[in-house]
Amino acid sequence: MDARLANTWRLTLNEKNFIKTALLSEIRIDGRKPFEFRNISINFGREDGSAEVQLGQTRVMGIVTAKFVQPYRDRPNEGTLTIYPEFSPMADPSFEAGRSGESAVELGRIIDRGLRESRAVDTESLCIVAGKLVWAIRIDILILDNGGNLVDAANIAALAALMTFRTPECSLGGEDGQEVIIHPPEMRDPLPLILHHLPIAITFGFFIDENIVVIDPIHNEEAVMAGRMIATVNANGDICAIQKAGEGVSQRVIMQCLQLAITKAADITKQIKAAVEAYNSERALQKIKRETTCVGNSVKGDQNQTLDNKGISELVGKYMERLKLISVESYASQNINAEEIKSLRRGTDSNCIKFNSTPLSWDPYSKGVDLECLKASVASQGLSTASEEKEASGQEKGSEAESACPYEDVNSKWSAVDASTTEMHVIGPKTLKDAVKPKNKRKKKVSSMI
């Protein structure tokens, strides 16, 4: 007992006074201004659904896994989402192994409210057999380094991990149609989760005596501050959750903080999306390089030494299926409305051009459910006309499109990713000859849309 007390970290009185005096002149001890957020860097691990976020000195890892469970009785069509925060003793000398303290429970509850109760994650799409089998998503949040403001960092880690997580595709089959077949990743590409919006948590620290509010406090400031408010907001301006503790603050200050939170949330949302985009396109690029070798095209790209190469050597039909799925996957983070996708799309035109220059100039934007799309998209291999392809494949999806604009077509398709992937297995094995679509056919489609 004494040993434990002796080992806890405490801030000295001098340090406390220094922090408070500096705040009187609106200076924080790490040089930031009161409403400045630290730098966020998001990195992804080797497997799907694993993300590591660094917010200044704070380091948090989020890992998403899924398994089959029976649904709750009162919600037979919905999957479940549970958050397991773990305050690892490596993050802070006062964190104990085993039992997690109340701050771990609080962190878990705040993130849970932001993700589950605000319906950010679509749980109905996690249902496989109503009443019997659903996906249970488990998010493990590992705190690796406590540099202050664990809630915000953990939230970003959870979101980044959710956006890059993929569940294997399942379909009903068997003799009575009740058996669930799980398709391994080599056969069918796994599916992303549907996220309606991204709730971002922003923490504010209140220093009553100095009459100042700071955003994103570091651990020294956390030991000094009198009150704390965590506002979970999204970029659309919705407030998902608010948690306030500590000394009382005036209503005016709270309103100001909420306004500020919404602005900051927009920034952070952009950063998260950019990081996930980069990761997804990197992944798609790797997959493409692997594909080319097995079909025997002349490739210049070096072979990616991932281990499950063996699973790729199948019929050409499956290869084409997969090519389609790659494009689906490369923009699989489309669990967001069409507007946002548009802005994303414009921003990633450079990616499109990048793909053109590779030997297999695979058009990542062409995504098709029916055969025409497939032919059009694979035809782009030989021709570096990605923009044409986009339009062509865009038109083919006309039935699902929300507007006539080709760009919008392509974009809105992606929000229906799940629906489309289930139709993939309809297409039988084809040869590459079928894949090459005569140019005139494509042009016709273009004109028909307009």
Closest CA relative to residue 394, chosen from 333, 324, 446: 446
Does residue 74 belong to the site contacting other proteins (CB under 8 A)? no
Torsion of CA 261, 231, 198, 218, to 10 degrees: 80
CB of 84 to other proteins, least distance (A): 8
Element (H, E) at 80: strand 80-87
Does residue 93 belong to the site contacting other proteins (CB under 8 A)? yes
Residue nearer to other proteins on the CB measure, 8 or 357: 8
Residue nearer to other proteins on the CB measure, 11 or 254: 11
CB of 108 to other proteins, least distance (A): 15
373 in Cβ contact with 309 (< 8 Å): no
Q: Choose which of 34, 45, 76, 301 interacts with other proteins (CB under 8 A).
A: 45
Helix count and strand count (H, E) for the chain: 15, 14
Residue partners of 324: CB distance under 8 A and separation at least 6 = 367, 368, 373, 374, 377, 424
Does residue 144 belong to the site contacting other proteins (CB under 8 A)? yes
Q: Choose which of 28, 38, 59, 324 interacts with other proteins (CB under 8 A).
A: 59
The 194-233 contact track toward other proteins, x by CB under 8 A, reads -------------------------x--------------
CB of 9 to other proteins, least distance (A): 5
Distance CA 215, CA 26 (A): 12
CB atoms within 10 A of CB 35: 16
Residue nearer to other proteins on the CB measure, 47 or 423: 47
CB of 7 to other proteins, least distance (A): 5
Distance CA 406, CA 397 (A): 10
CB of 208 to other proteins, least distance (A): 25
Q: Which token pair is 78?
A: 């919905």
Residue partners of 279: CB distance under 8 A and separation at least 6 = 44, 164
Residue with tokens 């992606």: 414
Does residue 86 belong to the site contacting other proteins (CB under 8 A)? yes
Residue nearer to other proteins on the CB measure, 145 or 291: 145
Contact range with other proteins by CB under 8 A, out of 41-49, 237-245, 272-280, 364-372: 41-49
Residue nearer to other proteins on the CB measure, 145 or 210: 145
Q: Which token pair is 352?
A: 């499109």
Element (H, E) at 386: helix 386-396
Distance CA 324, CA 282 (A): 16
Closest CA relative to residue 52, chosen from 156, 150, 201, 151: 156
85 in Cβ contact with 100 (< 8 Å): yes
Does residue 99 belong to the site contacting other proteins (CB under 8 A)? no
Residue nearer to other proteins on the CB measure, 119 or 138: 138
Q: Residue 215 forms beta bridges with which residues? A: 204
Distance CA 385, CA 158 (A): 38
Residue nearer to other proteins on the CB measure, 259 or 306: 306
CB of 387 to other proteins, least distance (A): 37
Contact range with other proteins by CB under 8 A, out of 138-146, 163-171, 341-349, 422-430: 138-146
Does residue 67 belong to the site contacting other proteins (CB under 8 A)? no
Residue nearer to other proteins on the CB measure, 146 or 232: 146
Contact positions with other proteins (CB under 8 A) in 298-327? 305, 307, 310
Residue nearer to other proteins on the CB measure, 78 or 86: 86
**Contacting residues toward other proteins, per CB under 8 A:** 2-3, 6-7, 9, 45-47, 50, 57, 59, 61, 63, 65, 86, 88-93, 97, 138, 140, 142, 144-147, 219, 305, 307, 310
